[in-house]
Amino acid sequence: MRTETAILYTLPHDPLTGAVSVPIYQTSTFEQEAPGVNRGFDYSRTNNPTRQAFEELLAALEGGTRGIAFSSGLAAVDAVLKLLSSGDEVVAVDDIYGGTYRALHTIYDRFGITVKHVDTSDVASVLEAITPRTRLIWLETPTNPTLKVSDIRAIASIAQAARALLLVDNTFCSPVAQQPLKLGADIVLHSITKYIAGHSDVIGGGIVVKDEELGRRIRYIQNATGAVLGPQDSWLAIRGAQTLHLRYERISASAQRVAEFLHGHPDVAGVNYPGLRSHPGHLVARAQNAGGQFGGVISFWLKDDREEHAVELVGHTALVTLAESLGGVKSLVCVPGRMTHASVPRDARRAAGIHDSLVRLSIGLEHPDDLIADLGQALAKVKERSTEKIPA
């Protein structure tokens, strides 16, 4: 049975009524038959039937033994970092998600945890960064917003030799395109907010592990610190996840077309999209990626590499909405230098490949012809205005 069939097949019917849609168990507590004797649930921070249904679905999607659902992606990040102790070191991808960077560098640094950022698309630099204190390797592949690709299998063997845990933040790929546990990772993390819930209507996070003891430790941290996904939001996540395969397939096909359009456009200097043959990580992405689906996130920069041109461009798109986030049914656009990565100094941004005019797209479910037409007219307007400005 293929994953998508298995997931739908195993989603539980309500044992009480046979309801085909998992009910929203909006309750904080559960009746006990005798003190300490319950029907599997006692208090909703510890466990809730709606959340449990989503957690089982998430574990099935990633091929793990346990899924744990959090109140946000960053709450999941936080729970993993609580596995560490003072003096431990983390080796992390250099253009790591901004919120994860903030947690590591403004909160966990005060607890004696140090981080080394390396370009993980270069396996040798990961190896060099390892010390006897390295406990955790943190990957995102592809990264945000430059879409750099790292070799999960190669880095998993480095992690194993170093007795460090390998975590892959799999938000961009979703389990449809990439299942890191099968490539040797120990922990998979998701911002459920993005592709899995998929409709820009819920904030949630998730962790999946294959080792049962590690799963118990993370579950313990979650129950001890409390960042759980509520029943309503769990239901929305279940609802979204049931169409993940369809959405991701369509979004990837559309994004490939949009990336090719941008790649051939005379005003575009470069396009980051792992589905393009010209992308340096194309072959690695293809090898670790099921069915050659490369997702919906594309970034590109302009020949005339000035930030005001990127700002102007996103002001001219009509169909594509200017907003942070990604992975929803509606296409979104943002200027990372001004928005998601504004807190990174300009020199550091440029060193990380974030050009001044870099624009990031999250492709949704609109028809690709319409998206291409919208981006084409916006690019033409930027061109028109910049030629007007050149004095005769």
Ligand X SMILES: *Cc1c(COP(=O)(O)O)cnc(C)c1O
Applying CB under 6 A, the residues found at the interface with ligand X are 72-74, 97, 99, 140, 144, 169, 171, 191, 193-194, 203, 205
- Strands across the sheet with 268-272, in order? 268-272, 297-302, 359-362, 332-334, 321-322
Choose among 18, 4, 14, 8: nearest CA to 50. Answer: 14
What minimum distance in Å lies between the beta carbon of 296 and ligand X? 12
What minimum distance in Å lies between the beta carbon of 86 and ligand X? 24
How many other CB atoms sit within 10 Å of the CB of residue 28? 9
What minimum distance in Å lies between the beta carbon of 205 and ligand X? 5
Specify whether 97 is catalytic: yes
Identify the burial level of 47 via C-beta atoms within 10 angstroms of its C-beta, where 0-12 means exposed, 13-18 middle and 19 or more buried. Answer: middle
Choosing from 51, 66, 148, 194, which is the catalytic residue? 194
Q: Which residue's CB is nearer to ligand X, number 80 or number 118?
A: 80
Choosing from 45, 239, 338, 350, which is the catalytic residue? 45
Choosing from 25, 97, 108, 273, which is the catalytic residue? 97
Identify the burial level of 345 via C-beta atoms within 10 angstroms of its C-beta, where 0-12 means exposed, 13-18 middle and 19 or more buried. Answer: exposed
What minimum distance in Å lies between the beta carbon of 338 and ligand X? 18
Question: Cα angle at 157 between 152 and 162, to 5 degrees?
Answer: 120
What minimum distance in Å lies between the beta carbon of 171 and ligand X? 4
Per-residue tokens: 217: 């430790």
Phi-psi group of 124: left, alpha or beta (phi > 0 → left; psi -120 to 50 → alpha; rest → beta): alpha
Helices (H), 187-306: 212-225, 231-241, 244-263, 282-287
Q: Which residue's CB is nearer to ligand X, number 205 or number 231?
A: 205
Q: Which residue's CB is nearer to ligand X, number 193 or number 331?
A: 193
Per-residue tokens: 31: 């009746």
Q: Which residue's CB is nearer to ligand X, number 335 or number 378?
A: 335
CB 314 within 8 A of CB 370: no
Specify whether 277 is catalytic: no
Q: Which residue's CB is nearer to ligand X, number 97 or number 301?
A: 97
Taking CB atoms, the residue at the shortest distance from ligand X is 73
Provide the annotated active-site residues: 45, 97, 169, 194
